[in-house]
Structure 1
């Protein structure tokens, strides 16, 4: 659910960085939502001697942004500081005179890392509950919640962490090698837990209201007496999966909220990102293209995406760059032709131009993104040739919405 604006907010928050033999970029956009409730984390070099490790996460808040914001600032600390996680490795013995900053972890136990991650989630959830309880006296009750999809990379493993319906995936050897599974109330095991806690699943929502069955926060759904934290209507327990790294084949990791996955399937997004990596090594630009493409495909939610590129990822190709340039020139010329053909009837709006192009067989459109990913190219030419156009919110709306095919919530 949620309220929507009359026009999407398309300003983006970006960041990028590199280290530990990886590069990352990210993009977040408010879109059509009245409030921006997403948050993200990107850390290369973890505390407590885990300098070769990295951590990335996307948090998709609902009913407010408080839990998402707090989690993005504190979840990693709760994971790495708890005894279960710290017990996953023994400090490496350093030469005489080496300071504490030189200590690094050696031979981490995968099982203990997974346990430490789970403990960190349960700890931060309980901590936020206490904060919420303490605020009740002042009349300030936080009813917000947040999904969390994270990836923790060690030199040997990739740990995928998921709580809710945001999603992460790994592209390896040109295909989707792994993806996290969404926690939806209609999933049999999730539904069983909800019903055992005295709840119900109606219209695919917990008690007919909440669309996710696992999340941080959402404490109104975590107050069943006699049930532990992982047995409540909504559970804060993440799924954690450890995957051995393959230096030669691991291409990239994508973490994104459901505002992205609502309109792009795993393979579509993978194919689109791979095609963009052959055109540019600017990861912020690629993330921005993902977000814009999803907006034009019909997403009405906040959108956040983190792209982590690994050593086996695609490289910029001169041939791919040439094809991209030729495609852009072709689209520019077609827009000019469409506008000229309709000159006597008045200048057609962007909807007409996009519908016309959509009906044609245009070669070399980016896979997964298709014509929606070239909306900005089309719009730039349209605006140049029609500088006195009337700003029209309708022209920003994907065709599918007015054809009754889009999502309404």
Structure 2
């Protein structure tokens, strides 16, 4: 049976939208989704443009890798900036740059099927990933120079390569990956920010400066693919420039009985949720639905309602040890939804037809109450759609001027949102 699944997603900017400074006047909440399974893993993904005037994220999701690695998988999120060109190119070509270079194919003891390449060793995989990043960055630079330097975009990259025995976490920039094992955050990648001591030292050694926590007061990440305006210091190698394309690669042995899931997400997610909050929220969602696209959509919506102003992209990769449907959790979820619906109805009836409150007011009132069984990590923001649906049902002609994505926590002064 062919288990190969390959989704390389390039998100094109949506044109003709009203701009409000660097943002739209209303968020674009349409989502791009995909899912797949094979090799004992399942995944779902979701992307939303949100408030940004352009969608600059992209993804790669591949189960069954080339060059004889049929039992492997690769997932990555690319968060573009100053344009989407680099993110889109990496989405299509980074995996091939990694798996086809000689360092990756350095080989190791056996493991491949007859007629295939030998299973690469742990060190070969790590070296090959690093080499692949440096190769694709140089390749994109050459293409840009042939176009007379027209492309000034860049992209972070966070990913995971999964072999039968290991996870290889890959990070270049400030997107992030985490692994949930045994019911808690077991591992997460470290963001590459200019004010990190080692990053700052490299920037200064290359003749740059860190101002307002940015490279030369401009770029908010210290490692990225592309961004060639920051890679022009003569006498310095590619990993010694103001911005480095070198990824950090961490290998972790798999623990099949305990490994639950991996989350890969851009900083539009992490800006408003901590590692523990997102881990707890995902675990709670997996107890009420098996649909990973639905879980990812709920993550993105929740982060929008928590106040994220960036593009948002998330990939959720689940293993056999992931939480399963819990009938008690499903019952609590239904009771919570009914409770919220009743509360909305009470609030509107209390105000009367002549002074119907807007949705923002309803959310703020709910935020002051001790509502039982709210999803951990998501809190009331994760139930905003339930509140909105009931609100609209009772007030079909009511226009909510704040519809879409107000940061209710800022509006109401509540940490429960």
**2:7 match:** none
Gaps of 5+ in 1: none
Match for residue 46 of structure 2 among 22, 27, 31: 27
Match for residue 149 of structure 1 among 158, 170, 189: 158
* TM-score relative to the length of structure 2: 0.92
Tell me whether 1:384 sits opposite 2:393 in the alignment. Answer: yes
Q: Secondary structure of the equivalent of 2:66?
A: coil
**2:22 match:** 3
Give the distance between the partners of 1:37 and 1:405, measured in 2 at CA: 31
Q: Aligned pair in 2 of structure 1 residues 351, 391: CA closer, same or farther (>3 Å)? A: closer
**2:219 match:** 210
The structural deviation recorded for 1:175 is 0.6
Task: Note the 1:53-132 alignment, pairs <5 A.
Answer: 53-89=72-108, 100=115, 103=116, 105-106=118-119, 108-132=120-144
Q: Secondary structure of the equivalent of 1:374?
A: helix
Count of paired positions: 395
Tell me whether 1:193 sits opposite 2:202 in the alignment. Answer: yes
The one-character-per-residue Cα deviations of 1:354-380 (angstroms, maximum 9, x if unpaired) are: 000000000000000000000000000
Q: Secondary structure of the equivalent of 1:165?
A: coil
- Whether contact under 8 Å (2:36, 2:44) holds in the other structure is yes
The one-character-per-residue Cα deviations of 1:171-221 (angstroms, maximum 9, x if unpaired) are: 000010000000000000000000000000000000000000000000000
Q: Secondary structure of the equivalent of 1:5?
A: strand
Q: Secondary structure of the equivalent of 1:300?
A: coil
- Whether contact under 8 Å (1:349, 1:395) holds in the other structure is no
Q: Secondary structure of the equivalent of 1:83?
A: coil
The structural deviation recorded for 1:390 is 1.8
- Whether contact under 8 Å (1:88, 1:110) holds in the other structure is no
The one-character-per-residue Cα deviations of 1:99-157 (angstroms, maximum 9, x if unpaired) are: x4xx2643x31111100000000000000000000001xxx610000000000000000
**Aligned-residue CA RMSD in angstroms?**
1.7
The structural deviation recorded for 1:33 is 0.1
- Whether contact under 8 Å (1:6, 1:393) holds in the other structure is no
Give the distance between the partners of 1:158 and 1:169, measured in 2 at CA: 11
Gaps of 5+ in 2: 1-20
